[in-house]
Amino acid sequence: MKNVRVARRYAMALMTAATEQKNIDGTAGDLDMLGNLLRGSREFRLLIASPIVSPAKKKAVFKELLEKRIGGETLRFIHLLTAKGREPILPDVIEQFAILRDEKYGIVNVDVRSAVEFTEPQEKTLQSQLEMYTKKKVRVRFSLDKSIQGGLVVRIGDTVLDASVRHQLELLRERFISGGALLN
């Protein structure tokens, strides 16, 4: 179960501390490494989620496992989560911290689905157009989706820009059924 509200509060506290230490990128790197560890190690996920393992034992394991791999500030934060019994929300905290970092740096995540693969020059052109549209830096994730038949679908947060052939055909069909003029 996602604990977004609680995770966001902890992520905001960590962001405040990282900002004061002028170490946002270092903390983000530590959290990326922890996220990779969580995705790659079933044992680590089980340790974090286990209510049976005592907080003192978890802290000792975290110290032994992470002390040389992450910064002291991030390790102290993990110890704080453990002391409060909140270590199971670590994946959500990592996700919320990434969102806060992107907000702070003015980065917008954009998903682009297309029927065909873009060439590198096309990707760069679309990225620059999206940056002009959003007036922010964009991080674009491209994916193939043969179901859209042609064109592309762009998702920027909650906004969807649908320039797919499938969507255009659906609009044309609706106009035809409603008796509207086909040519404008």
Residues 35 and 119 in one domain: no
For range 41-64, the mean pLDDT:
91
Q: Are 19 and 65 in contact (CB under 8 A)?
A: no
Does residue 42 form part of some domain?
Answer: yes
**Angle formed by the axes of helices 24-40 and 4-20, to 10°?**
140
Residues 111 and 99 in one domain: no
Residues 115 and 50 in one domain: no
Residues 19 and 77 in one domain: yes
Last residue of a domain, one of 86, 103, 120: 103
Q: What is the mean pLDDT of the chain?
A: 89
Q: Are 7 and 96 in contact (CB under 8 A)?
A: yes
Residues 91 and 114 in one domain: no
Q: Are 28 and 98 in contact (CB under 8 A)?
A: yes
Which residues form the domain of 99? Answer: 4-103
Residue 181, Ramachandran bin (φ over 0: left; ψ between -120 and 50: alpha; else beta): beta
Prediction pTM value:
0.75
Does residue 184 form part of some domain?
Answer: no
Locus of tokens 């760069």: 124
DSSP state of 154: E
For range 76-86, the mean pLDDT:
93
| pLDDT over threshold 80, residue 184 | no
Task: Report the greatest alpha carbon distance in the chain.
Answer: 72
Last residue of a domain, one of 77, 103, 129: 103
